[in-house]
Amino acid sequence: MSLLGTSLTLGLLAALALGPAWAGAATPQADPVVATTDPVNEPGGEPGSSPTEDPPPTEEPGGSPEPSTPAPETTAPLPESPPPAPETTAPEVPPAPSVTAPAPGGPPTPAPPVQPAPPAPPVRPPAPGSEAPPPNPLGVQVTTQDVTLPTAYWNAASTATTLQVTVNNTGTTAQRIRLSYTLPVGLTDAGTKGCAAAGGGTYHCGAWTAAAGVRFSAVLRLRVDGTAWRQMPLAGVVQVVADAPGVPGEAVDDQGFAVLFPPGPPAPGITLAADEVAFDISGTASTLTLRLGNTGTVDAAGRVEVVLPGGVTVPAPPPGCVTVDPTRTRCDAGTVAAGRAAEVRLPVEATPQAQREAPLSGAVIGQLDPRSGATRQMQMSFRITAAAALATPVVSPPAPTGSQGVLAGGAAAGQDGTTSVRRTAILLIVVSALLVVLALALATIALRRRFAGGPTPEPTAHPTD
């Protein structure tokens, strides 16, 4: 019994001595417990943070980022300052509201809403006078044919002929179009209705009202005097003026016409021919080809003399040719045998103004001086044309414009009649077709190899670590 009592006494003393220690072990620690599994439904801050540090805004150590609401703590106190609201970089689509860390036991508090972006300012109209002016509704174009005389001209005191004129309303409104023309020396009007002489070989005709895009023709009746050939080369001009009610300014266009005489006066033992001179769209020099024939029975010394209109010249006379004056060039054709013909080629160039006035006419005088017999002479006129004269007029208000103009040389036609733009388009089409054929061939080869090689083996799955 004494032993049992002693043991109970010692156990009681030991329990009294160890009581405070056990009581301290049962009290919770001051440091928080890090949540390593799913967060609990208690408010708090970030797990893994100390009571004196702010939690990271979007990521906890060892975990994945949480861009919206951080994981709460278990026993951590409220942070000293709530984390700032996230900055908004796209005002058009505001982000989802974030939740700040509330006090323990309280509901989450949403962040203040993002202010919408201010509306865009309205588009102000341009200042007065800054807008481009509207296009001019006026526009007119005139084209002419030539006055070509028959061989019967040499056997008549005068010859009645006609000149056809075509007028086109190239504007966008109805216009009143007035026509006038100027005739060279030796030509007079033969009673064209509605036209009256205005002096200096000029005639004024009535006016026509034409709707936009309308084209019409007029025939001028002319008379050519029997001695007019002595003044060759001869050329005239036709002019049209268009206006419209309520539209300022006028549209003006003009084009020349040539008076072409047949070879003559007829003389035995001599023939003469001249080709037309044509300037292409580039306006470079052209060539005039002349042929002087000896149809007599004896040889003769040949000579030709070329008379050109103003603005058309021979820049560099070939050997055997000399410049008499700026419009005349004389060439020695040598001895022309009986029954043969001599050919003379001259380079010819024209100013841009002369090309705009085309068609024009030049004259050539041929002469044969046989060893025995009288000198034989004949002359004729030839036509001078230019591609620039066929250009469509460009109307700019309110100044008048002409229908002709030298265009850029890049669009010049080649010897086969195709332009550089057309040749480029053909080349692109051919290259595209070749590329399509090549692509089809490669696709066919790939398909054949695929079908010939059999089915494709399935990929083998490799075990992952």
Supply the DSSP symbol for 229.
G
Give the tokens for residue 328. Answer: 């005349």
Answer yes or no: are the C-beta atoms of 181 and 236 closer than 8 Å: yes
User: Buried (b) or exposed (e) across 19-38, using 16+ Cβ within 10 A?
Assistant: eeeeeeeeeeeeebeebeee
Supply the DSSP symbol for 228.
G
Beta strand residue intervals within 261-340, DSSP E: 270-274, 277-279, 286-294, 300-307, 312-313, 321-325, 328-336
Give the tokens for residue 21. Answer: 């220690």
What phi, psi does 103 have (nearest 5°)?
-70, 150
What phi, psi does 19 have (nearest 5°)?
-60, -50
Output the pLDDT for position 117. Answer: 57
Answer yes or no: are the C-beta atoms of 95 and 86 closer than 8 Å: yes
Give me the sign of the Cα torsion angle 130, 132, 138, 141: positive
Higher pLDDT, 374 or 414: 374
Q: Does residue 67 surpass a pLDDT of 50?
A: no
CA distances from 223 to 94, 159, 309, 457 (A): 90, 6, 22, 97
Q: How confident is the model at residue 163 (pLDDT cuts 50, 70, 90)?
A: very high
Task: State the average pLDDT over residues 146-163.
Answer: 94
Is there a cis peptide before residue 398, judged by omega within 30 degrees of 0? Answer: yes
In angstroms, the CA 275 to CA 335 distance is 22
Give the tokens for residue 267. Answer: 């003389």
Most confident of 2-11, 63-72, 107-116, 293-302: 293-302
Answer yes or no: are the C-beta atoms of 400 and 252 closer than 8 Å: yes
Q: How confident is the model at residue 251 (pLDDT cuts 50, 70, 90)?
A: very high
Query: pTM for the complete prediction?
Result: 0.55
Output the pLDDT for position 96. Answer: 46
Output the pLDDT for position 18. Answer: 46
Q: How confident is the model at residue 124 (pLDDT cuts 50, 70, 90)?
A: low
Q: How confident is the model at residue 132 (pLDDT cuts 50, 70, 90)?
A: low
Burial class (CB in 10 A: 0-12, 13-18, 19+), 365: middle
* pLDDT tens-place string over residues 14-31: 544 544 444 444 444 444
CA 218 to chain centre: 36
Which of 134-148, 188-202, 424-438 has the least mean pLDDT?
424-438
In angstroms, the CA 464 to CA 261 distance is 103
Output the pLDDT for position 169. Answer: 93
Give the tokens for residue 276. Answer: 């037309």
Q: Does residue 368 surpass a pLDDT of 70?
A: yes
What phi, psi does 438 have (nearest 5°)?
-65, -40
Higher pLDDT, 398 or 317: 317
- Which of 376, 155, 190 lies closest to 262, judged by CA? 155
CA 280 to chain centre: 22
For 184, the 3-state DSSP assignment is: coil
Q: Does residue 1 surpass a pLDDT of 50?
A: no
Task: State the average pLDDT over residues 245-268.
Answer: 91
Q: How confident is the model at residue 128 (pLDDT cuts 50, 70, 90)?
A: low
In angstroms, the CA 164 to CA 146 distance is 8
In total, the chain counts a number of residues equal to 465
- The per-residue pLDDT of the chain, averaged, comes to 73
Output the pLDDT for position 275. Answer: 92
What phi, psi does 61 have (nearest 5°)?
-60, 135
Q: How confident is the model at residue 176 (pLDDT cuts 50, 70, 90)?
A: very high
* pLDDT tens-place string over residues 377-398: 999 999 999 887 665 454 444 3
Tokens 């509901």 -> residue = 107
Q: Which domains does the chain have, with CATH numbers?
A: 140-260 (2.60.40.1530), 270-389 (2.60.40.1530)
In angstroms, the CA 66 to CA 58 distance is 5
Beta strand residue intervals within 11-148, DSSP E: 99-100, 109-110, 140-144, 147-148
Tokens 């010394």 -> residue = 301
